[in-house]
Amino acid sequence: MNAFLNETHHTLRSKVRDFAEKYIKPVIGEFEANEQFPVELIRSLKSLNLFGMHAPKKYGGQGSDYLSYIIAVEELARVDSSVAATLAAHNSLGVGPILEFGTEEQKAKYLPSLCTAENLWAFGLTEENAGSDAQGVETIAEEKEDGWVVNGHKKYITNGASEMSAGISFVAKTGTREDGRKEFTAFLVSKGTKGYTREFMKQKLLWRAADNGMVYLNDVHIPASDRLGARGQGIKIMLKTIDSGRLSIAAMGLGLAQGAYEMAVSFAKKRKQFGKSISDFQVISFKLADMAMKLETARNTLYNACWLKDNGHDYGTQAAMAKLYCSQIASDIASEALQIFGGAGLFRNDEYPIERFFRDQRLLSIGEGTSEVLRMVISRSILKE
């Protein structure tokens, strides 16, 4: 039970959990081991109506509240982070900025195909020298009579390179403001555009079945109609999008922690040492108790931030807190769960994939704002108050 949830939320959770257990869990290990993006598996999520689920129905979405979407990500991450990351990046970072900052023409053009599970959309901020420092972006867009010409690249872009990736929202430097500071503007570009190429990245520590790619923009022509938002508002659009994205990364942390905890409980009951289950030893049972407590606290923190967003309140600080805390407890619980497994947790095991969970949690304290940056965000907020 949770005070933030209603019957619709409970029904959605049950539906996504059943799907993940039946269709994702049995096969995802092979995709992960082969560093292969599971196209048909991702498209099969269509049956759950999870793509663009918080977009209005007139664009093909479900018009659901944000908490419903977060629960869906949480339940997918409980079984696998690569699949959860694909959905999270598509909805929060892909659909999100078009929905919030796009013109009516842009929404009508792009959103319907992004709500059907046929296409994915990416988000491009990170570069070689841009990440925590958003203003380090070096991609340049030059204005021409018939639009813009862009040159640059983006790095580590989720949903940026697979056959399902239909395009990307990105930010580029477009000049210098009157105060001497750099000016940044956001744009949309679709696959098939001349000069727009992608490269699938492999040899990753984690999320090996997710599409993380390099995106190259070489003399790419973008019509004026595909500028996203007002000129000079690019960084604002990117950072506002990341606020929402932090909630989905928090959901991934919560779901991964829940999955690791459940594996640890199951294994501790089965594993016997000194003639009894290791769950009977206080040192193990207390580890499990601490995990349960952290999960309860993380879930309430995340759901409260979602409630604030759904009800029109400022939620940026709470999103930062939720992302920071959920990523931390994912690390704590995955580590302690692996300790309970002992040597059995150090090898691939499709029944108990704790080895994969231990690797996958590592990105959560880096992506969508490092833990260090989030502490800066939170401290500035509380000191301002």
Question: Using alpha carbons only, what angle is made at residue 118 by residues 117 and 119, rounded to the nearest 5 degrees?
Answer: 95
Pairs from 277-281 (Cβ < 8 Å, separation ≥ 24): 278/340
* DSSP state for residue 84 in the 8-state scheme: H
Mind telling me the catalytic residues? 368
Residue whose structure tokens are 């989030």:
374
Cβ contacts of 55 within 8 Å, gap of 6 or more = 61, 62, 63, 95, 99, 111, 115
In angstroms, rounded to a whole number, what is the distance separating the alpha carbons of residues 230 and 237?
A: 10
Which tokens sit at 137? Answer: 């972006």
**Location of structure tokens 């302690």:** 336
Q: Helix, strand, coil proportions of the chain in percent (round to 5)?
A: 55, 15, 25
Distances (CA, A) of 286 to 65, 124, 136, 372: 36, 43, 46, 29
Alpha helices in 233-281 (DSSP H): 234-270
Q: List the structure tokens of 353.
A: 């994939």
What is the torsion angle, in degrees rounded to the nearest 10, for the CA atoms of residue 53, residue 19, residue 207 and residue 370?
50
166, 179 contact by CB (below 8 A): no
Distance of alpha carbon 17 from alpha carbon 209, whole angstroms = 19
User: How open is the CA angle 65-235-143, to the nearest 5 degrees?
Assistant: 120
CA separation (Å) from 96 to 56, 83, 306, 309, 361?
12, 18, 15, 13, 24
Residue 345 DSSP label: G
Dmax (CA) of the chain: 80
